[in-house]
Amino acid sequence: MKKSLLVSVGVVYLLMSACKPKLPPEEYNAKAADPELYHQSVELLTEVIIHDIFKPPVASRIYVYANLAGYEAMVPGYPAYESLGGKLKDFAAPTAPDADKEYCFPLASTRAFLKIARNLTFSASFFDEYEKEFYKKYEDMGVPSEVIENSLAYGDSVAAHVMRYSSKDHYKQTRGIRFTVTNEPGTWVPTPPAYADACEPEWHKIRTITLDSATQFMPPRPPMWTKDKNSEFWRETREVYEVGKNLTDEQKRIAWFWDDNPFVMNVVGHVMFANKKMTPGGHWLAIHETVSRKTKASFDKSVEGYALASIALIDGFIGCWEEKYRTRKVRPETVINTDIDPKWQPFLQTPPFPEYTSGHSTISAAAAEVLSFVHGDSIAFTDSTEFKHGHGVLSFKSFRDAAMSVNISRLYGGIHYRSGCDEGNRCGVKIGKHVLAVARTRKEQKVISQVQ
């Protein structure tokens, strides 16, 4: 009797499930196109990048391939956008989805993003925990099981396509190569407290995404070390020294806010320990997230912004790093301690690579240009990205206003000369405009004049 009852209940359940009306595609796709699902996935990747201590240039590589995959998997479902295939260097469009199958492209997009994020980082357990519940959300939205299956498969296909693209960017060939310190006057040497090896000395050899070459927007020659104490070099050095000795509370606040040093070494007596924090690239993607939420930006606009900003970030790093290791300019801390004041310390810890130009100034200006295109050039916002890391909250009139705040912060921090900041910013603006001219995402987008 019990067995018959169970069978009857099972049959009734199956009949009820079969009779349950399926949501029309426009309804479940609208639910799936919640940009929060993509924002949260980017937040997860940033958390993993911080945990795994990826250096800022390497972090930009992870971000660009993950967000390129997310963008390309989204495009077939959004007629206003077009593939970046044939526009980015050596990149072909992925295979189009099967016209006879039904897809949920917001799901395919986020799946492609997460697939790349997992493949290019170390801590898979973060993704295991996240994805355990993540894809169930689409079931709860009413996305049919066969559509989920199709969408996941298409996301995987796009991710595999982008992974093949990433494998040919010369990254593997640049691993394990150390920089040789020459100790020539005016050239970079490791700085306290860690005296770490030079960061990514071969990064200029990574394939660019939109730039013709790493030297396309080469800055002018900087003031270099000389014995002439009346030279521009010494004028800039004394400026760093004096500013550092007389920092106002507001200047300290700005410098600390934009520190974005992913691995700060602390020394207390004979004990050394490190703090893990946000990278510069992650900070700018978080700014895009903040403004997207503030303006209630759609799923497609949010994904577009992540992709364009990520392209600007990696091309900015490649161009800047080419200049750093060609010029090999000494850091202010080294010169000041040797020739002016052996007890002077910069407000921020000097990062382990040559001074000219400022990487943070470069990538911030590039990101500000593309985000000004995505959201508009007069969007005011409050940035609390690193509040949880103890770096406070600041408000800005626009993305470019924020980029200029980054620019001066490096002088306040005592880690850059003024010329390194300003020329980095100028190059970053050119790179950002070039990205927009080459990586055209919208079918109706006006061609932006390339900067020469």
312 SS3 class: helix
Query: Is the bond into 357 cis (omega within 30 degrees of 0)?
Result: yes
307 SS3 class: helix
Neighbours of 134 (CB within 10 A): 18
Neighbours of 222 (CB within 10 A): 18
- Give the per-residue pLDDT at 386: 87
Q: How much is the pTM?
A: 0.93
Residue 1 identity (one-letter amino acid): M
Cα 173 from chain centre: 22
CB 118 within 8 A of CB 44: no
- Give the per-residue pLDDT at 388: 84
DSSP string, 62-125: HHHHHHHHHHHHHGGG-TTB---TTTSTTPPPPPPPPTTS---HHHHHHHHHHHHHHHTSS-HH
Q: What is the pLDDT along the chain (452 residues), one digit of tens a residue?
A: 444 443 444 444 334 444 456 788 899 999 999 999 999 999 999 999 999 999 999 999 999 999 999 999 999 999 999 999 999 999 999 999 999 999 999 999 999 999 999 999 999 999 999 999 999 999 999 999 999 999 999 999 999 999 999 999 999 999 999 999 999 999 999 999 989 999 999 999 999 999 999 999 999 999 999 999 999 999 999 999 999 999 999 999 999 999 998 766 666 565 655 577 789 999 999 999 999 999 999 999 999 999 999 999 999 999 999 999 999 999 999 999 999 999 999 999 999 999 999 999 999 999 999 999 999 999 999 999 988 888 999 999 999 999 999 999 999 999 999 999 999 999 999 999 999 999 999 998 765 555 44
Alpha helices in 167-190 (DSSP H): none
Residue 374 DSSP label: H
| Planar angle of CA 227, 325, 221, nearest 5 degrees | 50
CB 49 within 8 A of CB 120: no
- Give the per-residue pLDDT at 19: 45
315 HSE (CA, 13 A, CB side): 34
Contacts (Cβ under 8 Å, ≥6 apart) of 229: none
- Give the per-residue pLDDT at 2: 40
DSSP string, 376-399: -TT--EEE-TTGGGT---EEESSH
The interaxial angle of helices 56-74 and 280-294, nearest 10 deg, is 40
- Give the per-residue pLDDT at 377: 94
Residue 356 DSSP label: S
User: Residue 442: which region, alpha, beta or left (left: phi > 0; alpha: psi -120 to 50)?
Assistant: beta
- Give the per-residue pLDDT at 59: 98
The interaxial angle of helices 145-166 and 105-119, nearest 10 deg, is 40
- Give the per-residue pLDDT at 276: 73
CB 198 within 8 A of CB 233: no
Alpha helices in 223-358 (DSSP H): 232-245, 249-257, 280-294, 299-327, 332-339
Q: What tokens appear for 385 in the block?
A: 């990205």
Residue 329 DSSP label: B
| Planar angle of CA 417, 420, 425, nearest 5 degrees | 130
Say how far apart CA 82 and CA 105 lie, in whole Å. Answer: 14
The pLDDT tens digits for 160-192 are: 999 999 999 999 999 999 999 999 999 999 999
